[in-house]
Amino acid sequence: MRLSTSAFSAPVERAGIDGVEVGRDARLSTDGFGIVIDGAIGYSLRLIPSNKILGRFASTHDAWPAVIAAVEAGRSPRMLVLDWHGASGSHGRVASGITLEYLARTGLGLPAEHLRSPDQRGR
């Protein structure tokens, strides 16, 4: 079972397969936002298909500059994945590809309008 919610939505609580509560929440602050995964103790940015870890972070907000730096250094956003890691060894994907770049740019307050599809611009 795959659960997904918008990073911009209000906190959502859903029962997982084993009855564990899973939630995602976008935290706004004066210096941008970060996505919080309940139970996550850390986050990592990896390069696919090699699965090389480009960095480990305490929060998604801490990871945003690394995402932007990787893209500006010439890496394709399609090759980047931000994962969460739980204390029990559980893990999952937060975002990847152009969605990850969009979240990183908007999370830091940088322009990201050019990343949206033409029919969504100006909304």
Residue ranges, the chain, pLDDT below 70: 1-31, 116-123
Q: What is the pLDDT of residue 123?
A: 56
Within 8 A by CB and 6+ apart from 14, the residues are 3, 21, 22, 23
**In the block, which residue shows the tokens 């994945």?**
81
pLDDT at 2: 37
The span from the CA of 54 to the CA of 81, in Å, is 10
- CA angle 111–11–33, rounded 5-degree value: 25
How high is the pLDDT of residue 118?
61
Q: Phi then psi for 43, rounded to 5 degrees?
A: -135, 150
**pLDDT for the residue numbered 32:** 79
pLDDT score of 30: 56
Amino acid (1-letter code) at residue 92: G
The reported pLDDT for the residue numbered 29 is: 52
pTM: 0.71
Write out the DSSP string of 22-58: EEEEEEEETTEEEEEETTEEEEEEEETTTTEEEEEES
- Spell out the domain ranges in the chain: 40-112
Adjacent-strand bridge partners of 15: 21
- Beta strands across the sheet bearing 12-15: 12-15, 21-29, 32-37
pLDDT for the residue 11:
42
